[in-house]
Structure formats: structure tokens, C-alpha cells
């Protein structure tokens, strides 16, 4: 008989009779229906709510760089470059493409430092991230190849002209680096996977500070540290949470989350210090408050600072649950919200790179 109301199978055997009655007794055992059907309950599958949440977050992440420039520029009297929304979106995708593989490398290093961890690891998203980064880098290179204008057709893209300018060479470096990262994404050697991504980070640091800027090497160094720590912070938390979800409620999971929390404190300190220093280089102390509200760059920067403050509060909440809660893994609840907020920080960072720099009074 099959179907939901099928009778569970019976198992019968005889026990020898007691010395008193001299009779055998028959004992019948009924196997649970769940075991008879194949053992264990079926695995939980993500419901429609999670799919809807992912779609909403994706729409928000796309709309922020596309619509953010007009909101940030409103009432400032500043003019935006052509296609600033598209450039902001491409830059946000590029930053996210750095977060995922570098975060996986950090999480893998942490997992190897925790004894007794399960052998299972989540499926790598590095190949998909490298492909997305390659497309974003190609889009940004096409903008540079048309004189920082949005290309209307392929004939307007001067590929050879990329070799004639500093920005063009850096754009080509990012394209080639993401291409190599895609080819090396399946490598078992972390160093092989890391070096092309490091080249992208270095290129972004150099691009953000042109040679005409005062002390450009100092600015590039600050951006290099800032961007590296930021992508490790966001990408590392994402991969750690994916790993904990795969492992389930096991003791090494709490140890892994605690180890990441200690690393995240250092990353947060580095991000904050380099961010403040970079801000003071572009906004003198006497004009910071005014430019935070009167310029598009300042408004986007203020939004980023507020988001980072929210992230820091969520991280503190998770740390308290991890150290004082009856179940340390309940810290995953605020940590999941934290990773969403970090994603918004990445998106706003992409917007920040596309807006006009404040006037250095």
C-alpha cells in the first residue's frame, strides 16, 4: 500500500517463555512511518518569503546607485557627470565582486584555525563573482574609452586610447585581473586566487587618487587599506554565515563565529581610521560639517557613516549574544542583519566614487 496513510511495516519476533509459564511470547514492533519512508524528515527548503526578501534587497541595491545621485545632488548646485548612476552601479558590482572571493579566503583561513570543524564547506561563489566583476570592469573601461562618457554604440569606444591614459591603463588592469581571477577561481591554492584580486584593489586605490592630487601616494595607501579591510569584513561575514548554516548547531560553529568577531574588530578599527583620515584630507576640519550636508559627496559620505554605525551596533549585539547568551549561535540573528547592512555600505561606496569630489577650500 502506498500513499500518505500507508500502514507502517511491522517487525515481529519471539521471546523465550519464562520458567514459570513455559510459553513463548510474541512481541510486535512498529517502525515509525518517517523511517519506513526512507528515514528522517525531509530537508527544509527556503520558502517564498526568503525569495521575496532577496528580490527586494536586489532591487534596493540596484535602485540606490541609479537614483542616489539625483537625490544627493538635489539643491547643491553641483553638476553630475554623464551616466553617473550607471557608473555607480558598476562600481558597486565591482566592489561586491571583490567581497565574495576575498571573504571566502578569509573564512577558509579561519575555518582551518578552528579544531574539530566538519569537513563540509559551502559551495564557492567565487566564479560567479569573478564573472560579475569582469562585466563591471568591462563596463567601466568602456566609459573611460569614450572620454568618461556613456558609450552609445561600439564604434564610439576607443579601445586603443585606453593605453594612452593612466585611468585607461588601470581600467585594463582591472579587466585582465578579473579575467585571471575567473580562471583561478577553482584553484586549491589561496595565494593563486588572491593575487589577481589584490591587483584590482591596488588599481582601485590608484584610480581614486589621480597624480594631480596632493600627496596621491598617501591617499592611495589609505584607500588600499580601507578597501581591503572593508571587503574582508563584509565578504568574510557572508561566508562565515553560509558555513554555519551548512554545519548546523555544532560546537565548532560558535568557535568560528567568535574567531571572526575578533578579526572583525581589527577590520572595523582599520576601516574607521583610514576613513576618517581620508575624509579629513578631502574635507578640512573646519568645513566637514558644512560639506556633509551641502555637497553630494558629503551627503553620500554621511549616509555611509550612518550605515557603518548601524553595522557596528549590530556587531556589538552579536558579540554580546555570542559571549553571554545561553546559545552562542543565536548571535547569527543580528549577524545576518549586519551582513545586509554591510551590503548597503558597499552599494553606497559605489555611489560615493561616482559623485564629484568636494571643493578643497
pLDDT score recorded for residue 36: 38
pLDDT tens-place string over residues 264-278: 999 999 999 999 999
pLDDT score recorded for residue 264: 95
pLDDT score recorded for residue 154: 79
Q: CATH class for domain 80-354?
A: mainly alpha
Lowest mean pLDDT among 152-156, 217-221, 265-269, 290-294: 152-156
* Mean pLDDT to the nearest integer, 161-179: 94
pLDDT score recorded for residue 6: 47
Enumerate residues 6+ apart whose C-beta is below 8 A from 181: 101, 126, 130, 133, 193, 196, 197, 200
What share of the chain has pLDDT > 90, as a percent? 50
Q: Which of the two residues, 35 and 149, has the higher pLDDT score?
A: 149
Predicted structure pTM score:
0.80
| Neighbouring-strand partners of residue 11 | 29
What is the domain partition of the chain in residue ranges?
80-354
* Mean pLDDT to the nearest integer, 226-246: 95
pLDDT score recorded for residue 66: 58
Amino acid at each position: 500500500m502506498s500513499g500518505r496513510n500507508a500502514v507502517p511495516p511491522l517487525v515481529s519476533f519471539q521471546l523465550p517463555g519464562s520458567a514459570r509459564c513455559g510459553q513463548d511470547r510474541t512481541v510486535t514492533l512498529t517502525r515509525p512511518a518517517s523511517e519506513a519512508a526512507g528515514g528522517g524528515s525531509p530537508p527544509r527548503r527556503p520558502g517564498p518569503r526568503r525569495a521575496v526578501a532577496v528580490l527586494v534587497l536586489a532591487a534596493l541595491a540596484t535602485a540606490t546607485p541609479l537614483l542616489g545621485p539625483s537625490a544627493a545632488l538635489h539643491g547643491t548646485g553641483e553638476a553630475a557627470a554623464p551616466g553617473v548612476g550607471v557608473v555607480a552601479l558598476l562600481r558597486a558590482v565591482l566592489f561586491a565582486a571583490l567581497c565574495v572571493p576575498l571573504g571566502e579566503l578569509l573564512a577558509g583561513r579561519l575555518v582551518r584555525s578552528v579544531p574539530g570543524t566538519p569537513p563540509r564547506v559551502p559551495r564557492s561563489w567565487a566564479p560567479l563573482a569573478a564573472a560579475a566583476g569582469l562585466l563591471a570592469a568591462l563596463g567601466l573601461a568602456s566609459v573611460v574609452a569614450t572620454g568618461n562618457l556613456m558609450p552609445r554604440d561600439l564604434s564610439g569606444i576607443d579601445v586603443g586610447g585606453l593605453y594612452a591614459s593612466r585611468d585607461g591603463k588601470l581600467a585594463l588592469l582591472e579587466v585582465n585581473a578579473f579575467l585571471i581571477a575567473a580562471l583561478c577561481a577553482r584553484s586549491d591554492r589561496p595565494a593563486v586566487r588572491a593575487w589577481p584580486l589584490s591587483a584590482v584593489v591596488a588599481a582601485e586605490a590608484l584610480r581614486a587618487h589621480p597624480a594631480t592630487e596632493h600627496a596621491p601616494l598617501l591617499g592611495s595607501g589609505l584607500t588600499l587599506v580601507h578597501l581591503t579591510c572593508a571587503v574582508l569584513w563584509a565578504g568574510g561575514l557572508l561566508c562565515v554565515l553560509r558555513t554555519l548554516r551548512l554545519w548546523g548547531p555544532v560546537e565548532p560553529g560558535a568557535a568560528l563565529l567568535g574567531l571572526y568577531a575578533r578579526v572583525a574588530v581589527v577590520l572595523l578599527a582599520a576601516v574607521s581610521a583610514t576613513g576618517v583620515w581620508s575624509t579629513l584630507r578631502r574635507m578640512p576640519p573646519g568645513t566637514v560639517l558644512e560639506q556633509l550636508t551641502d555637497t553630494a559627496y558629503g551627503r553620500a559620505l554621511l549616509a555611509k557613516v550612518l550605515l557603518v554605525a548601524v553595522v557596528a551596533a549590530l556587531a556589538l549585539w552579536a558579540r554580546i549574544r555570542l559571549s553571554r547568551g545561553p546559545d552562542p549561535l543565536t548571535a547569527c540573528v543580528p549577524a545576518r542583519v549586519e551582513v545586509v547592512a554591510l551590503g548597503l555600505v558597499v552599494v553606497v561606496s559605489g555611489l560615493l566614487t561616482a559623485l564629484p569630489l568636494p571643493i578643497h577650500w
